[in-house]
Structure 1
Amino acid sequence: MTRLVGYTRQLAVELDPAAGVAALTTAGVVRVFVDDGLADPRERPGLTECLAFLQAGDVLVVPSAAHLSHAVTHFVTTITALDTQGVGFRSLTEPALCTGADQAVDPARVLAAVEGLRRRLVSLRTRAGMASASAAGKRPGRPTVMTPEKVAMALELRNLDRPITHIARVLGVSANSVQRALAPLPRHPDPAS
């Protein structure tokens, strides 16, 4: 008898895995394994327990392939290992990636689904990296050319009614950099403050 076994993980800190668990329960899984967002994507105890629980004839069901794998290579390796064990795979949102005897294979749809998975995983890693940098007090992106000294000099020159292009030339930066740096600052600071 075929058992449907579910697995999901928290893809980002702000995303609750409860929606994935609910979707899997609605799909008829007999048991759901979950990893929280704090687990290292390469060392997930819930996934390890899930893979050990599966038996030949079972079908692993996930909300999307991104819940199963942290990289496309991991996805392919995992699906290949499941197939070798006689375990099927079903993604609720990516039918082209599902395995089993009743699945028609359209190579174009499979490749498109794998590319979609790759893009989603890159996006998740980028968001996680930006959140990590932000938590460490770092601002993601290119560093500004306007140091605090240059901003002070630009403000002083602007208070002398110098044009933005002149200020930019004096400081050796672009006019856009000067405008961005001066935008939040008052033009003539109030001496009483």
Structure 2
Amino acid sequence: MNQRIGYARVSTEDQHLDLQRDALQQAGCRVIYEETASGKNAARPELEQCRKALRSGDTLVVWRLDRLGRSLPDLVHIVADLERAGVSFESLSEKIETGSAAGKLVFHVFAALAEFERSLIRERTYAGLAAARARGRSGGRKPKLHDKQLREIRALLRDPDIRVADVARRYNVSRTTLYKYVGAITPHSK
């Protein structure tokens, strides 16, 4: 017997699964796998259990596409795996289902449009960074240490009795940061 199996996910403990659970139950899901896991987190044990429970002819139902995939490529990969196993996929909010040829087409067009949008965002970001650089602005973090501090640090490190770790602690940076900014530090200044 073909089943409609639901998967619901929230990212943080203070979010609730009620909305997703209600929608999945209303869509005919008798079994719903639920978990709290960040979308960035690759380890989603309930999703893995859900995928193991699915059989050919079943349908995996989610409330929204972003509840299933961490990213567009991840989502496309999961849906392709389901397809190979003979399992349909349905997203309630986007009204996408892969049980029919038309539904598969809609999903793949949707995926292609999302990929296109990501490419446009990336291009605009690079163009914006290039324009900022042309105006003399550079992106990224502000430097941890300023010129005056660097001069002080270099002077301190010339003293063989002062340790790098002590200087790093004094300026609230790591030893690695000191090495990055000051360059090679002489052996006597350990």
Amino-acid identity (%): 28
User: What is the aligned partner in structure 2 of residue 111 from structure 1?
Assistant: 112
Distance 1:91 1:64 in 2: 5
User: What is the aligned partner in structure 2 of residue 181 from structure 1?
Assistant: none
User: What is the aligned partner in structure 2 of residue 75 from structure 1?
Assistant: 75
Distance 2:47 2:111 in 1: 24
Instruction: In structure 1, list runs of 5 or more residues that go unmatched.
Output: 119-140, 144-193
Count of residue pairs brought into register by the alignment: 123
- Please provide the CA RMSD for this pair: 3.2
Q: Which amino acid aligns with 2:19?
A: A
Q: How far off its partner does 1:116 sit?
A: 10
Is 2:5 aligned against 1:5? yes
Residues 123-148 of structure 1 deviation map (CA, whole Å, 9 limit, x = unaligned)? xxxxxxxxxxxxxxxxxx977xxxxx
Q: Which amino acid aligns with 2:112?
A: L
Residues 134-178 of structure 1 deviation map (CA, whole Å, 9 limit, x = unaligned)? xxxxxxx977xxxxxxxxxxxxxxxxxxxxxxxxxxxxxxxxxxx
Residues 93-119 of structure 1 deviation map (CA, whole Å, 9 limit, x = unaligned)? 1224x211263424655534x35997x
Is 2:87 aligned against 1:100? no
Question: SS at 1:56's partner residue?
Answer: coil
Native 8 Å contact 1:8 1:20 kept in 2: yes
Question: SS at 1:74's partner residue?
Answer: helix
Native 8 Å contact 2:39 2:69 kept in 1: no
> Which aligned segments of 4 or more residues in structure 1 are displaced greater than 6 angstroms?
none
Distance 1:117 1:20 in 2: 27
Question: SS at 1:103's partner residue?
Answer: helix
Q: Which amino acid aligns with 1:33?
A: Y
Question: SS at 2:6's partner residue?
Answer: strand
When normalised by structure 2's length, the TM-score is: 0.54
Distance 1:25 1:117 in 2: 32
User: What is the aligned partner in structure 1 of residue 27 from structure 2?
Assistant: 27
Native 8 Å contact 2:11 2:39 kept in 1: no
Native 8 Å contact 2:76 2:111 kept in 1: no
Instruction: In structure 2, list runs of 5 or more residues that go unmatched.
Output: 119-139, 143-190
Question: SS at 2:102's partner residue?
Answer: coil
When normalised by structure 1's length, the TM-score is: 0.53
Q: How does 1:1-193 map to 2 (within 5 A)?
A: 1-37=1-37, 41-96=41-96, 98-101=97-100, 103-104=102-103, 105-106=105-106, 108-109=109-110, 111-112=112-113, 114=114
Native 8 Å contact 2:24 2:63 kept in 1: yes
Native 8 Å contact 1:59 1:89 kept in 2: yes
Distance 1:4 1:116 in 2: 31
Q: How far off its partner does 1:2 sit?
A: 2.0
Q: How far off its partner does 1:30 sit?
A: 1.7
Question: Structure 1 residues 116, 13: closer, same or farther in 2, change over 3 A?
Answer: farther
Q: How far off its partner does 1:79 sit?
A: 0.5
